Amino acid sequence: MTKKISVIGLGFVGLSLAVVNAQKGFDTIGIDIDNKKLTNLRNGNPPFYEIKLEEFLRNSIRKKKIIFSNKISSIIDTDITFVTVGTPTKNGKIDLSQVQKVVLEVAKVLSRKKQSHLVVVKSTLVPTTTNDVILPKLQHLRNIRLAVNPEFLREGTAVQDLLEPHLIVIGEQDKQAGDALVKYYKSFYKKLPEILRTNFITAELIKYSNNAFLATKISFINSIANICQNFPMADVTIIANAIGKDPRIGPLFLNAGPGFGGSCLPKDLSALIAFSKNLGDTNILLKAVQQVNKTQPDKIIRILKQMNVLRKNKIISVLGLAFKKNTDDVRESVSVSLIEKLLDYGLSIKVHDPMATQNFAKLFHDRIIYCKTIKDCLRNSDCCIVMTDWDEYKKLQLADFKNLRVPNVIDSRRVFDPSKFSKINFRAIGLGV
Ligand code: UGA
């Protein structure tokens, strides 16, 4: 018999997970405390953009495979509950209040149930949390098994990543819990992906190590980019391409740029540094990774200074507000910190983004000018900075920049071929002039 699934916490992980389960044919209940979000979801409208999400949501609603509720008590009729509530950072430390509250409620509801039930925590948890905080709230219930199952979904491609994960990591309370989760995955996938079964703490650490390593790769290549900028024609893109061919290094996550943003990498790095500190370890490597990232936008400021546009009333056009392409998410986007700095210098800012303008306007209100088209954004400005690697920016040609008052272009994402921009004042991160 097909398992019934409940998912508590409909953020980008939880909603994507719920919708993909429903699309796969599992009867699914999505649970959240935000009633407005639930109403929109019942009408087929996801609160954020994610490729395929809306289509699969509407399809699942039509087929009556998904319902939405604000009651955790509705998990009682399901077989597996995924916990995907947020674990935000407060003052550099992870805030577990949501996950604790949910698990307590889950325990209360499941104490009324006789049949077995699998609870799977997908929220990112600092090492030892599952054993010390989650398990004690559930282990008195004989019918409940607990597993942690960290996810490696990337925003923008979450649906695809759920359908084709490179690995499934299971941290299990005991063999029974792990077996139950593997059984579910066997019914989910036609071809079962590689599964790694381990204990709670190792699974928790895998998630943090994964994100910390990705962050390290980015700060590493940005450090090389910063060297390149001092030498005429030294080009970090060519260097990254070359070292990426060494199988011990690999080509991915070696794109130099303005630094990493988003709701995951910066948060998980801070949490791991705080965790190490509690153990009496300064973790100088991860601190350096964080420091390189924090100062990376200053490299753009330096170029603006060299271009002589870092002066009151100059107009700067920023193309790209989302923390990366194919998302409307602006959390920890480098564009946010860069524009704050530019405003402090007294500059006027015009911005454009194919998707994230609305979310950005919630942060900056009328302090900056929002443009519907790239052309409007570039008109009469003193410099254009490309901050997100959207495909439509990659297509821009030299002629598209003719409306700038002064032909200054900064390519912080290395989306352009520098040889095509030699006729204007073109500068790029990691490219010496
Ligand atoms: C990241 C991880 O990639 C996922 O595996 C993980 O599941 C997720 O965090 C999470 O913990 O939930 P995500 O935050 O969606 O996913 O974004 P990434 O694709 O990792 O990009 C993060 C930032 O690094 C972006 O600002 C991106 O522009 C930047 N980046 C990425 C670079 O500057 N250079 C690169 O080469 C790659």
Distance 321 CA to ligand 1 centre (A): 15
Query: Mean pLDDT, the chain, as a whole number?
Result: 96
Mean pLDDT across 413-421: 96
Question: Which value, to the nearest 10 degrees, does the dihedral of the CA atoms of residues 84, 85, 87, 88 take?
Answer: 130
Half-sphere exposure of 211 (CA within 13 A, CB side): 27
152 CA closest ligand 1 atom index:
7
Asked whether residue 274 carries a pLDDT value surpassing 80, the answer given is: yes
Percentage of the chain lying above the pLDDT 90 cut = 96
Q: How far is the C-alpha of 264 from the C-alpha of 124, rounded, in Å?
A: 9
Asked whether residue 92 carries a pLDDT value surpassing 80, the answer given is: no
Buried residues in 156-187 as b, exposed as e (16+ CB within 10 A): bbbbbbbeebeebbbbbbeeebbbbbbebeee
Q: How far is the C-alpha of 430 from the C-alpha of 433, rounded, in Å?
A: 10
Cα–Cα separations (whole angstroms), residue 53 to 18, 26, 98, 165: 10, 16, 25, 17
Our answer on whether the CB atom of 155 is closer than 6 Å to any ligand 1 atom is yes
Our answer on whether the CB atom of 15 is closer than 6 Å to any ligand 1 atom is no
Asked whether residue 12 carries a pLDDT value surpassing 70, the answer given is: yes
Q: How far is the C-alpha of 256 from the C-alpha of 147, rounded, in Å?
A: 37
pLDDT tens per residue, range 314-341: 999 999 999 999 999 999 999 999 999 9
The structural domains of the chain, ordered by start, are 4-198 (3.40.50.720), 230-428 (3.40.50.720)
Q: Which residues pair with 120 in a beta bridge?
A: 82, 147
pLDDT tens per residue, range 256-271: 999 999 999 999 999 9
Q: Which two tokens stand for residue 46?
A: 């996801």
What pLDDT score does 164 carry? 97
What pLDDT score does 116 carry? 95
Mean pLDDT across 354-366: 97
153 CA closest ligand 1 atom index:
7
Asked whether residue 35 carries a pLDDT value surpassing 80, the answer given is: yes
Percentage of the chain lying above the pLDDT 70 cut = 99
What pLDDT score does 94 carry? 80
Cβ-based neighbour number of residue 419 at 10 Å: 7
Asked whether residue 346 carries a pLDDT value surpassing 70, the answer given is: yes
Distance 260 CA to ligand 1 centre (A): 7
Q: Which residues contact 231 (CB under 8 A, 6 or more apart)?
A: 432
Q: For residue 37, what pLDDT band results from cuts at 50, 70 and 90? A: very high
Distance 296 CA to ligand 1 centre (A): 16
Our answer on whether the CB atom of 261 is closer than 6 Å to any ligand 1 atom is yes
What pLDDT score does 1 carry? 61
Q: Which residues contact 2 (CB under 8 A, 6 or more apart)?
A: 25, 26, 27, 187
Distance 265 CA to ligand 1 centre (A): 6
Mean pLDDT across 165-170: 98
Q: How far is the C-alpha of 229 from the C-alpha of 7, rounded, in Å?
A: 48
Catalytic annotation, residues: 264
Our answer on whether the CB atom of 257 is closer than 6 Å to any ligand 1 atom is yes
Q: For residue 4, what pLDDT band results from cuts at 50, 70 and 90? A: very high
389 CA closest ligand 1 atom index:
28
Give the residue, by CA position, lying nearest to ligand 1 atom 35: 253
Give the residue, by CA position, lying nearest to ligand 1 atom 9: 264
Q: For residue 177, what pLDDT band results from cuts at 50, 70 and 90? A: very high
Cα–Cα separations (whole angstroms), residue 327 to 37, 263, 323, 364, 414: 18, 12, 8, 19, 19
Cα–Cα separations (whole angstroms), residue 119 to 67, 161, 383: 19, 22, 53
pLDDT tens per residue, range 179-237: 999 999 999 999 999 999 999 999 999 999 999 999 999 999 999 999 999 999 999 99
Q: Looking at per-residue confidence, does 89 or 290 come out higher?
A: 290
Give the residue, by CA position, lying nearest to ligand 1 atom 23: 260
Which of 210, 324, 331 has most ligand 1 atoms within 8 Å of its beta carbon, as the pocket-test mutant? 324
When mean pLDDT is compared across 39-53, 59-73, 77-91, the lowest value belongs to 77-91
Whether the CB-CB separation of 169 and 203 falls below 8 Å is answered with yes
Our answer on whether the CB atom of 220 is closer than 6 Å to any ligand 1 atom is no
Distance 403 CA to ligand 1 centre (A): 33
What pLDDT score does 69 carry? 98
DSSP notation for 36-85 = HHHHHHHTT--SS--TTHHHHHHHHHHTT-EEEES-GGGGGG-SEEEE--
Q: How far is the C-alpha of 327 from the C-alpha of 55, rounded, in Å?
A: 16
Q: For residue 397, what pLDDT band results from cuts at 50, 70 and 90? A: very high
Give the residue, by CA position, lying nearest to ligand 1 atom 10: 264
pLDDT tens per residue, range 128-137: 999 999 999 9
Give the residue, by CA position, lying nearest to ligand 1 atom 33: 260
Our answer on whether the CB atom of 171 is closer than 6 Å to any ligand 1 atom is no
Which of 15, 155, 270 has most ligand 1 atoms within 8 Å of its beta carbon, as the pocket-test mutant? 155
Cβ-based neighbour number of residue 77 at 10 Å: 11
What pLDDT score does 91 carry? 72
Our answer on whether the CB atom of 323 is closer than 6 Å to any ligand 1 atom is yes
Q: How far is the C-alpha of 208 from the C-alpha of 248, rounded, in Å?
A: 21
Q: How far is the C-alpha of 228 from the C-alpha of 299, rounded, in Å?
A: 12
Distance 79 CA to ligand 1 centre (A): 32
